Structure 1
């Protein structure tokens, strides 16, 4: 399905004001990467070369990222450790953990809840490598959800499965039959789903939908235990000739609509330019308050890396601050060389 078709449907359904969902405790567990298709290897098992269609032997533990609903009703990635049973598939296990009232409900971190309808069973998950496609087949209970959750369910499934290595497209089946639209409110899903569907959609002020483009940016929220995590937001903005630069400008402008999110950058930071070359995207920031030798906030710089890799598909980010790269963040991460997107976002400590 095309982005424009989804947008028209979203506008009709009034979902553009949906709040945003996120997850996590440690902001990142370890460092790792146009369109809103996912940078690959963003949520993979760090100990084995597994993809969504491969199986593992019983007892193996894998990190996987689930998109769950937070206490504010927003979708967010939550990275969890899961033990895979005999012949269990990584992607299928992730979806099973996202079922409301399911067998794995106790493994969901406090402050988050499953998105898929109660009683849903994943009948199968088939990976078509040459199409970069994941086909998931649900039982009929999948159709028993609240209408208001329809888009949220589509986003959660799409973003969870496209977090897996080698998967960029998703198809949703019901009892073996491909769905052309969602069962309750008819959201069209006849074309393969990608991250172009967006997540936690919102629109910038006075944007003309017919002349808009989506950018996905990351803000900050806290769990009931006051643990910080990132929330992705897809914002519709006026088209520009430098989408990546626009994304960082929107990151600087901060959250909209009084959502319970925190800005990760102060408005006095300027983005001078964003360029792409050889799988590296370079952003030039100007911060007049920065003094040589001080540590820049890790939260700010990591959000820049997330936004740029998400919106460009590039694997590495070079950040220049006041024309220089010889600085570190508050986690003692050096930015003298290009840095990669973290493998796992919002990984809770067990």
Structure 2
């Protein structure tokens, strides 16, 4: 296995970088079904709660060319995805039809330009197609042009596309929204997204009519299960499973939204879904064994979440597979506002991964997930 990249210490919290080279086969076998759009009533309710009044300014339009520089300086500074030479994360479709975060290097530019580039990377056969890792592709229609991206005072990213944006496969409609939303809201300072095409604000998607009357946020979910549960009886959590890259050597992580009974504590529910494993047919792999048990989840006064697990397969809590531990870290971060996590396994406070990192000490999710080779 490839060693972890260098770790930066941030006070008592270590910044964990996800390793790349892992076994191509699943830890405990691969569960393998296509992810279909959720039922109509679930779709409408998820999108209804995906925005807030503060985010949707209603009349806020894409910035005219002469205004872009001023807006970038005033409103979008906090939304700059990366310094020159660093990386940014975009959501691309993998070979299993799922959206996954992928870390890319983009050209040097101002914050607004880099936001445009991050969306341009989502264009099928676009300018950055040759820069994508093997097995990944953008979901925006070929020929789509990102005309502008601006960020208002309410941290709403307003995106304007050319008319080619409308030329998509109807079955890809929700996936397109997820890719755009999760890519932009992954940037610091952006909480929601609003879409325009050729100077006209979209109130619904052109083909299937998914409503866009509110700002899109990550509460819309991603990679939803084939069979959704009405939201009146459930809530949504997002967990991270692993998958093998086409080269059979590298491993990457994929977020999946699950519905759980309403009223359950989100972190505990998310971790139990992680233990339950992925649905069949989507290429995702089990990251834990069927014997893994969640004993407790506790948030400390210092903000660190302590996750206590039991699994007799790793009795000494040493050389535990990276996928097991890192999926926990990513899942906690996703459902607890990027909180750092420390893991207890079989009652032991030292939990060493196969990358020689002690997950018994506080670690946080990586700044860039899935740094895959081209």
Distance 1:154 1:86 in 2: 25
Compute the displacement of 1:307 (Å): 0.6
2:332–2:339: 8 Å Cα contact kept in structure 1? no
Aligned to 1:346: 370
| Secondary structure of residue in 2 paired with 1:67 | strand
Count residues with an aligned counterpart. 308
Distance 1:55 1:296 in 2: 32
Distance 1:86 1:154 in 2: 25
Within-5 A mapping of 1:128-277 = 128=152, 130-202=153-225, 207=229, 209-226=231-248, 227-277=250-300
| Secondary structure of residue in 1 paired with 2:257 | strand
Distance 1:211 1:272 in 2: 25
Aligned equivalent of 1:77, options 101, 111, 125:
101
Compute the displacement of 1:342 (Å): 0.7
2:80–2:111: 8 Å Cα contact kept in structure 1? no
Q: Deviations over 1:75-128 (max 9, x none)?
A: 111111122257862221110111112122111111011111111111111112
Aligned equivalent of 1:104, options 119, 128, 131:
128
Closer, same or farther: CA 317–64 of 1 in aligned 2, 3 Å: same
Distance 2:145 2:100 in 1: 22
Q: Which has the larger displacement, 145-154 or 230-239?
A: 230-239
| Secondary structure of residue in 2 paired with 1:180 | coil
Distance 2:313 2:115 in 1: 45
Closer, same or farther: CA 121–269 of 1 in aligned 2, 3 Å: same
Distance 2:345 2:82 in 1: 44
| Secondary structure of residue in 2 paired with 1:91 | helix
Residue 122 (structure 1) aligned with residue 146 (structure 2): yes
Closer, same or farther: CA 295–86 of 1 in aligned 2, 3 Å: closer
Long gaps (5+) in structure 2: 1-36, 52-75
Q: Deviations over 1:48-98 (max 9, x none)?
A: x97435897xxx323011111111111111111122257862221110111
2:80–2:187: 8 Å Cα contact kept in structure 1? no
Q: Deviations over 1:29-57 (max 9, x none)?
A: xxxxxx999xxxxxxxxxxx97435897x
Closer, same or farther: CA 147–291 of 1 in aligned 2, 3 Å: same
Long gaps (5+) in structure 1: 1-8, 17-34, 38-48
2:39–2:227: 8 Å Cα contact kept in structure 1? no
1:216–1:247: 8 Å Cα contact kept in structure 2? yes
2:112–2:150: 8 Å Cα contact kept in structure 1? no
Q: Which has the larger displacement, 284-293 or 92-101?
A: 284-293
Closer, same or farther: CA 52–208 of 1 in aligned 2, 3 Å: closer
1:78–1:345: 8 Å Cα contact kept in structure 2? yes
Q: Which has the larger displacement, 168-177 or 141-150?
A: 168-177
| Secondary structure of residue in 2 paired with 1:191 | coil
Aligned to 2:40: 12
Compute the displacement of 1:323 (Å): 2.6
Aligned equivalent of 1:52, options 73, 79, 95:
79
Compute the displacement of 1:239 (Å): 2.2
Compute the displacement of 1:139 (Å): 1.1
Distance 2:317 2:267 in 1: 28
1:281–1:316: 8 Å Cα contact kept in structure 2? yes
